Amino acid sequence: MKAEEKPSESTGQEDTWTTVTAEEFGTVDIEAPIRDSRNVDCWSLGDLLLRAAHEQREQGNETAFRVYGLLSEIARMHLKPRDRSEPYGPLFVLDGRRSLIPSDLEGEQSAVIGRLVPGIHNPGLRARLADIVWHNDRKCADMARQAIGAYVQAVQSVLDGNAEFFGGNTVAGSRDGCRMLCRASQIAHATGWKEPEGPLLKELLLAVIRDAVDRKCRTGFLNAGEIALDFGIGGPASLAVDAETFAESEVEDLHLSSELWEFAARAHRRNGDRNEQNRCLVAKAESLIRIADENGGEGMVAASLIRDAIRQLRNLPGTRKRRQELEEKLRHAQDFVRDEMGAVTTPFDPTKHARQSREAVGGQKLSRALAEFVSLSQSAEPEELYDEARKQAEENPFLAMIDAAVVDHEGKVVAESPGLMGGQEDEEQTLRQIILRNGGLSRQFDVEGLIEPARQVIQVEHAPEFRDIRPIIEMTPFVAEDRLDIVSIGVGRFLGGDYISAVHVLVPQLENSLRHILELAGQDTSAIQSDMTQESRPLSVLLGDPELRNALEEILGPAIVFEIENLFDRRGGPALRHDLAHGRMTAGECNGTDSVYACWFIFRLLCLPLFCVWDQVAIRLDDC
């Protein structure tokens, strides 16, 4: 979709931005709205430019409105540097429409922007414009150098205390700073680390790491240290030493200590020292056990942590005795899973309208915003849904009595709904179809009125990537350790509005997560086939087997299990699991309300067990 087709929601105006000519740029003081700002992050700059565009429209200056409007759209693109194939995404995605992305500017518009770059004073805006031009045309080597140099200048100015990021953040190793450093490193790597920009970037990255060490900013150290390891900057041995020092001194956040031990192991591996790598991995496993003990050593969270520790030690020599001790500890923790999880609820009141949902998450730290976000709605009890269906059947007896067929988007019959006159079994089926129909309407309201408005605010204020969300995925007992990266990426794509990617990642992982929590509760989720091979039971069997379903309901509650069935597995409903598995979902359906709600619902499931320890989550999410 081209720029002139993007939705008005991206600007709050009825107008849409079109091509701006070089002559129009030449009649406007481009940096007037940002000249007095200390900010070098593009979101802050984009907000100032957007305000200026609105002011110019009110004053009747259409040219300035168009110039500032286009620049604000460019500045507010979603930078996700760890996604090397698509480092920029739209700010908003809604009903298959989206805001501006770099490819909308290809050709003459990109060339016009490139001619502006050398004259831009603010390094944050200069870096963004040069980066977009180079992204659209890799032959523009001068734009690559301009982008790297501007990124370096922006982060250096924060490090020197002369500038700041969004919200007054002055930590160079913060998310904003490391997004810039990561993107600059990608460009430098692609262009051969040319002088003088390449060496200056390496020097700055090491300075940011040292600053994080001096500040005792563990998250900042990890942010910058991972970039250094990824691109081979600095010595891995020194990074390992700093990581171990941090890990040993971390007493408030053992989850962060575990991550630091893993980073140290990775640095030792990069340095070729396998023994030191294994030592750090053992330390990571022991840190997981300490977390489990701090959580009482009983229940699902503890069982998940102990199981992850055992899996970590399984590949390490000399750990057999310790694994045997932990297996006994795991059995003890599993005995309490059902007692603990029977009352998983959210302590936050769900909001009811789009304005309220925006206010609930806006202006909050990331941890609080996400807690409010996953609390916008909740699963209804099955009895309530059946009562509502019966009431509707009584009020509309003719519609309830006639037979009906449920068809998919291709017109194929996927389910039948007999009338209420057919007996008890038919009545159940008819009521279930009413529930499924009502569920679709409810999800549409939740997505359009609650979830999507709130997600947009979180995206605007925090632009979380999968790296920022990973602490939640690491801490939740719903995700096995070998699926952390997959689920983190899926949630990151969801929060970024990339629903096509998110639904294809998260929906299949839901099935694995359900098996995981059942196994934590001591249930066997495999089945022995006639040829004596073992096969993991699919979602339909997990929900259809009485023993396994009862176990799920004891852990999650009947309301959540009922919604899982209706949303992912039940014929006549969205049946997302089935349609995804067989490649039947269209792009429109991936961006539809059922898919968006499904991604939110899965993210909510991940967060639910953590509400009792959300203060620990907040430490991880809000640091730096």
In DSSP notation, 450-496 reads IIHHHHHHHHHHH---HHHHHHHHHH-TTS-GGGHHHHHHHHHHHHT
How confident is the model at residue 568, as a pLDDT?
Answer: 92
pLDDT 10s digits, 349-400: 434 456 778 888 888 889 999 999 999 999 999 999 999 888 888 877 655 5
Q: What percent of the chain has pLDDT over 90?
A: 54
Burial class (CB in 10 A: 0-12, 13-18, 19+), 599: buried
- pLDDT bin (cut points 50, 70, 90) of residue 459 is confident
H/E element, 126: helix 123-136
Query: What confidence tier does 201 reach under pLDDT thresholds 50, 70, 90?
Result: very high
- 342 or 202: which carries more pLDDT confidence? 202
Give the tens place of pLDDT for each residue, 471-511: 899 889 999 888 999 999 999 999 988 899 999 999 999 99
Q: Per mean pLDDT, which range of 146-155, 343-352, 538-547 is the poorest?
A: 343-352
Residue-wise pLDDT tens digits, 308-341: 899 889 989 999 999 999 999 988 888 777 665 4
pLDDT for the residue numbered 416? 52
List phi, psi (to 5°) of 98: -155, 170
CA–CA distance, 460 with 496 (Å, rounded to integer): 10
pTM of the model: 0.77
Write out pLDDT tens, residues 159-185.
999 999 988 999 999 989 999 999 999
pLDDT digits (tens, 9 = 90+) for 261-285: 999 999 999 999 999 999 999 999 9
Torsion angles phi and psi, residue 93, rounded to 5: -135, 125
What is the reported pLDDT for 405?
Answer: 44
E strand or H helix at 89, and its extent?
Answer: strand 88-89
Q: What are the angstrom distances between the C-alpha of 90 and each of 54, 103, 227, 305?
A: 21, 11, 24, 37
- Closest to 131 in 3D by CA, of 204, 74, 200, 93: 74
- 500: exposed, middle or buried (C-beta count within 10 Å: 0-12, 13-18, 19+)? middle
In this prediction, residue 580 carries a pLDDT of 87
pLDDT one-digit tens code per residue, 394-414? 877 655 554 444 445 444 444
80 three-class SS: coil
